[in-house]
Amino acid sequence: MKVLFVASGNKGKINSLIKAQAESLEKVGIEIDFFLIKGKGIIGYLKNVSRLRRQLKGKHYQIVHAHYSFCGYVATLAGTRNLVVSLMGSDIKSNVILQFSTQIFARLFWKATIVKSKKMREDVQIKNAFVIPNGVNLNQFVQIYQPDAQRNLKWDTSKVHLLFAANPKRKEKNFALLEGALKGIDASEISLHTLQDVPFSEMNMLYNACDGVLLSSLWEGSPNVIKEAMACNKPVVCTDVGDVKENFGSVSGCFISGFEVDDYADKIQQLLEFINNKKQVNGLERIKELEISSNKIAEKILKIYQLAEK
């Protein structure tokens, strides 16, 4: 089966999660081509319609898989058949008009719609949407000896290292909540790290070097940084977004916070106590139990392609 991935290319490269999904699909026998959209906003995206139409005429694809709603619109207007669209999270939190248009396009034109969590399906109100989160590559995200990872990154081993697993400049990541929480606790021994211009290939080393992972987002679809941290058996504090609570289950060392500063500070304090007591996290076991490794997710997506092709 030959599949065309349609995704944004505004950053000069494809999103690391989308690229990882393509690689996992190639391992189950799918041939993947990419069409990268250049341009911002509705007008910028629409300028790609004719270019995509030309590529569709030149090659035969059994499935076109668009990532994000705007890419789905472009693929629809280009006359795509057997179109599968993955909604990623931020496109669900857009304005009411765009949410309504996504519902209309999904109902009338898309063979299948994929969302990342049950809550996303409720928010977008597409009842027949498939809930399939992005998978975790368990060959890439593995537990390694923490002192070795810290020495590799030249971190001070006397500190407690916490990783804010996002770029603090992105407003939806709500870094202000974490900043406010740290003011309410003794953070003198804490060294805080953030993700800015960090290559995807270096993420496993960061997870393993840190003592705990933090995320304070206002919204998420199914945050892979949390699942990757769990695969590395790291304790986590995260706001109640996307499918985080469902993924945590009863895993020790994984704490759900509300959006109040005091609550987030309390959860960080619980995380620090967990770390100081040298308790163990069984996150990897939970990831396997949920069947959300990249190869398991690839098998689920393949079944959707087979349905959409009929």
Confidence of residue 126 (pLDDT cuts 50, 70, 90): very high
pLDDT number for residue 94: 63
Structure tokens at 198: 């960090």
Q: Considering the chain, what is the average pLDDT of its residues?
A: 94
Range of the domain at 281: 146-290
Q: What pLDDT digit, counting tens, does each position of 59-96 carry?
A: 899 999 999 999 999 999 999 999 999 998 777 776 78
Residues 29 and 42 occupy one common structural domain: yes
Asked whether residue 262 falls in the same domain as residue 169, the answer is: yes
Nearest to 131 by CA among 113, 143, 106, 154: 113
Rounded to the nearest 5 degrees, what angle is found at the Cα of 214, between the Cα atoms of 209 and 215? 135
- The alpha-carbon radius of gyration of the chain (Å, integer) is 20
Q: How confident is the model at residue 149 (pLDDT cuts 50, 70, 90)?
A: very high
Q: Collapse the DSSP code of 37 into the 3-class scheme (helix H, G, I; strand E, B; otherwise coil) and give the result.
A: strand
Nearest to 115 by CA among 86, 75, 93: 86
Cα-based distances in Å from 144 to 5, 241, 261? 33, 28, 33
- Residue 172 belongs to a domain: yes
Q: Is 180 a member of any domain?
A: yes
Global pTM reads 0.91
Residues 270 and 300 in one domain: no
Residues 6 or more apart whose CB falls under 8 angstroms from that of 276 comprise: none
- Are residue 154 and residue 128 in the same domain, yes or no? no
Q: Indicate whether 166 pLDDT > 80.
A: yes
Same domain, 124 and 252: no
What's the pLDDT score for residue 42?
82
Residue-wise pLDDT tens digits, 205-240? 999 999 999 999 999 999 999 999 999 999 999 999
Q: Based on the domain organization, do 120 and 154 belong to the same domain?
A: no
Q: Does residue 140 lie in a domain region?
A: no
The answer to the question of residue 93 being in a domain is yes
CATH number for the domain harbouring residue 91: 3.40.50.2000
- Residue 225, in any domain of the structure: yes
Residue 217 placed within a domain: yes
Q: d(Cα 233, Cα 251) in Å, to the nearest integer?
A: 10
pLDDT of 35 above 70: yes
Specify whether 128 is located in the same domain as 152: no
- Residue 138 pLDDT greater than 80, yes or no: yes
> Do residues 247 and 301 share a domain?
no
Statement to judge: residues 156 and 34 lie in one domain? no
Task: Specify whether 120 is located in the same domain as 153.
Answer: no
Segment 250-254 mean pLDDT: 96
**Into how many domains does the chain fold?**
2
In the 8-state DSSP scheme, what is residue 251? -
Over range 149-177, report the average pLDDT: 97
pLDDT at 177 over 90: yes
Lowest mean pLDDT among 11-20, 178-187, 203-212, 237-246: 11-20
In this structure, the answer to whether residues 6 and 130 fall within a common structural domain is yes
Query: Do 86 and 36 share a structural domain?
Result: yes
In a domain, 176, yes or no: yes
Q: Which of 200, 229, 228, 196 is nearest to 213 (CA)?
A: 229
pLDDT of residue 216: 98
Query: For residue 256, what pLDDT is reported?
Result: 98
Residues 6+ apart with CB under 8 A from 167: 173, 194, 195, 196
- Residue 298 included in any domain: yes
Residue 58 has pLDDT above 90, yes or no: no
